Amino acid sequence: MKRTAFFISDGTGITAETLGQSLLTQFENIQFTKRLRPYVDTIEKARNMVQQINAAAEQDGARPIIFDTVVNKEIREELAKANAFMIDIFSSFLAPLEQELGDGSSYSVGKSHSIQHNAHYKDRIDAVHFAMDNDDGARTHYYNEADIILVGVSRCGKTPSCLYMALQYGIRAANYPLTEDDMERLQLPAALKQHKHKLFGLTIDPDRLASIRNERRPNSRYASFAQCEFEVREVENLFRRENIDFINSTHFSVEEISAKILVQMGIERRLK
Amino acid sequence: MKRTAFFISDGTGITAETLGQSLLTQFENIQFTKRLRPYVDTIEKARNMVQQINAAAEQDGARPIIFDTVVNKEIREELAKANAFMIDIFSSFLAPLEQELGDGSSYSVGKSHSIQHNAHYKDRIDAVHFAMDNDDGARTHYYNEADIILVGVSRCGKTPSCLYMALQYGIRAANYPLTEDDMERLQLPAALKQHKHKLFGLTIDPDRLASIRNERRPNSRYASFAQCEFEVREVENLFRRENIDFINSTHFSVEEISAKILVQMGIERRLK
């Protein structure tokens, strides 16, 4: 069965998309075509949306689902004219929250993802630059400024995890690749030893690692299963010997890896 | 007035946090302390949460707000024992969606941000590596693989915007800094000319640029207001002359910049 889902907002649409995606993943038997439509902030754009929605209804033979976080009432009413099932996210929750908080909502558009309402925005951007500058062991003399240092074999997912933590939470995350040299010495590199409390390990299944490395350097020793298995085993042994917490990235997304790391290390996330 | 808000999930908590943050920004008169609590996936952890919530209630002199996306009914019932106002996100919408879709929800935990339910996860990770490798004009011979090439003066926000587009949407975004050399020639660098349809400009207020550059190289010519003003003026002139769409990043977050770029360039986002 096919249905189209529209995530519509007069802002970035991030909230509508995030909630809509979460809800739709619960329905496994239906194949959804997903459309993100940010900045629907005029009646004219809303009318254009209605046409797109009605066209999808006709094509699918079933009315689309709308997830919207449109604040403007007139625009919302225009959208409601479409042949669709509308989940009006803000309306559902703002009235009960107003009652609970004894305060009126400001009903203003697009605040959640604006700089103005994000006290830690600068921290997030600084953290992105920190992650870039301290990626892949490029330099180690700023580790005193790091909140966390991810360690693991080459291509086990350290870089995207660091960037996600930086962008999403303003966490200053460096990463350091453990190479064969470090393994043969069977100890932590000197640069890491003094920051041991900040270390967190990533590991990965050897066959997955081999497949990732083969995309980068096909048929190399670096990408061979034997080499990958050796490195993973040595690094996991190192983690255990040095009492470094670690998780296996093979089956987890950067969102999940980050959430698990932060829970395990007890870093209180810096929320806006 | 002070209130504590808890974003609680048996998964990453991203959905609960995103929606909760959006709703709370609408209440400007209240100062919220925000607590993200992912992986609350056992009754024991839920009991521990209840204690934290009740402690916050006592400290604030007002009951906390809970935004939860906990799928497990027993855990949700445990949380409901806390002295709090609970906004149960999934429960509110799953029943009406089940009716509309004529299909039962699978009521499974943490699917939205898992690899398994994210067909484009690999695209996102590949896009992150693409953005890293093609950052800051480091190399230009892979521009044929780019979806978009951000151009602008040094430190106007190109890198974080590219990384956000990559991580969030799997967009392959390169970026190229326009330097004084390019300005004096008053034309686009050769590497960019052949990809003109992929170019998007970022600009920034000169005083903001000077302040950002001063953090990096204090009191340098590079960071002087006169230099910043010159570069910004020249680059904006170039954008206009070459008909390159551009936006001013000064007052916009990476989320907003990305959403605006994608709308303006008509890139259909690759949603999971």
How would DSSP label each residue in A174-195?
EEEE--HHHHHHTS--HHHHTT
Pick from A36, A38, A90: CB nearest B271? A36
- CB atoms inside a 10 Å sphere around CB A30: 15
Q: Find, in chain A, the residue whose alpha carbon is nearest to that of B163.
A: A163
Say if strands B85-88 and B148-152 run parallel, antiparallel, or are unpaired: unpaired
pLDDT beyond 70 at A117: no
How many angstroms separate the CA atoms of B193 and A201, rounded?
44
Domain hosting A219: range is 119-265
Convert the pLDDT of each residue in A10-22 to its tens digit.
Answer: 999 999 999 999 9
Residue of B43, B112, B105, B47 lying closest to B75 (CA atoms): B43
Convert the pLDDT of each residue in B216-264 to its tens digit.
Answer: 899 999 999 999 999 999 999 999 999 999 999 999 999 999 999 988 8
Looking at the structure, do residues A192 and A221 belong to the same domain, yes or no? yes
Looking at the structure, do residues A242 and A128 belong to the same domain, yes or no? yes
pLDDT of B105: 85
pLDDT beyond 80 at B184: no
Structure confidence at residue B271 as a pLDDT band (50, 70, 90): low
pLDDT beyond 70 at B185: no
How many angstroms separate the Cα of B218 from the Cα of each of A134, B215, B225, B232, B250? 21, 6, 12, 19, 20
The number of distinct structural domains making up chain A is 2
Task: Decide: residue A98, CB within 10 A, 0-12 exposed, 13-18 middle, 19+ buried.
Answer: middle
Looking at the structure, do residues A162 and A256 belong to the same domain, yes or no? yes
pLDDT of B75: 96
How many angstroms separate the CA atoms of A149 and A193, rounded?
11
For residues B13 and A117, the model is more confident at B13
Answer whether residue A217 is part of any domain: yes
Check which CATH number belongs to the domain holding A129 and give it. 3.40.50
pLDDT beyond 60 at A272: no
Indicate yes or no: CB of B128 within 8 angstroms of CB of A160: yes
Q: Looking at CA atoms only, how far is residue B34 from chain A in angstroms?
A: 7
Q: Looking at CA atoms only, how far is residue A270 from chain B in angstroms?
A: 9
List helix spans (H) across chain A. Answer: 14-24, 43-60, 73-79, 89-101, 121-133, 158-169, 180-185, 190-193, 206-216, 225-241, 254-265
Pick from A19, A39, A117: CB nearest B15? A19
Q: Looking at CA atoms only, how far is residue B97 from chain A in angstroms?
A: 8
Answer whether residue A112 is part of any domain: no
pLDDT of B270: 59
Looking at the structure, do residues A90 and A123 belong to the same domain, yes or no? no
Residue of B202, B216, B206, B217 lying closest to B257 (CA atoms): B202
Structure confidence at residue A271 as a pLDDT band (50, 70, 90): low
Looking at the structure, do residues A25 and A125 belong to the same domain, yes or no? no
Looking at the structure, do residues B258 and B142 belong to the same domain, yes or no? yes
pLDDT of B128: 96
Looking at the structure, do residues B70 and B127 belong to the same domain, yes or no? no
Looking at the structure, do residues B154 and B69 belong to the same domain, yes or no? no
How many angstroms separate the CA atoms of B55 and B33, rounded?
13
* Domain finish residue from A101, A129, A159: A101
Does residue A235 come out as left (phi exceeding 0), alpha (psi in the -120 to 50 range) or beta?
alpha
Which residues of B, range 79-108, sit inside 8 Å of A by Cβ?
85, 87, 89-90, 92-94, 96-97, 100-101, 103, 105-108
Indicate yes or no: CB of B160 within 8 angstroms of CB of A128: yes
Structure confidence at residue A114 as a pLDDT band (50, 70, 90): confident
pLDDT beyond 80 at B109: no
Pick from B12, B30, B125: CB nearest A256? B12
* Domain finish residue from B49, B68, B101: B101
Q: Looking at CA atoms only, how far is residue B128 from chain A in angstroms?
A: 7
Answer whether residue A111 is part of any domain: no
Answer whether residue B134 is part of any domain: yes
Which structure tokens are listed for A227?
């080499």
Average pLDDT over residues A58-74: 95
Answer whether residue A249 is part of any domain: yes
Looking at the structure, do residues B27 and B149 belong to the same domain, yes or no? no
Which structure tokens are listed for B207?
């005083």
Structure confidence at residue B174 as a pLDDT band (50, 70, 90): very high
pLDDT of A105: 85
For chain A, give the mean pLDDT.
Answer: 92
How many angstroms separate the Cα of B103 from the Cα of each of A30, A148, B100? 8, 44, 8
Answer whether residue B109 is part of any domain: no
How many angstroms separate the CA atoms of A135 and B215, rounded?
21
Looking at the structure, do residues B160 and B233 belong to the same domain, yes or no? yes
Looking at the structure, do residues A97 and A134 belong to the same domain, yes or no? no
Residues B237/B241/B245/B247 CA torsion (nearest 10 deg): 10
Answer whether residue A188 is part of any domain: yes
Looking at the structure, do residues B20 and B79 belong to the same domain, yes or no? yes
Which residues of B, range 125-164, sit inside 8 Å of A by Cβ?
125, 128-129, 132, 135, 157, 159-160, 163-164
Indicate yes or no: CB of A259 within 8 angstroms of CB of B39: yes
Find out whether B20 is annotated in a ligand binding site: no
List CB contacts (< 8 A) between A21 and chain B: 112, 271-272
Structure confidence at residue A57 as a pLDDT band (50, 70, 90): very high
pLDDT of A110: 77
How many angstroms separate the Cα of A103 from the Cα of each of A99, A117, B24? 7, 18, 11
Q: Is residue B225 a contact partner of residue B210, using CB atoms and an 8 Å limit?
A: yes
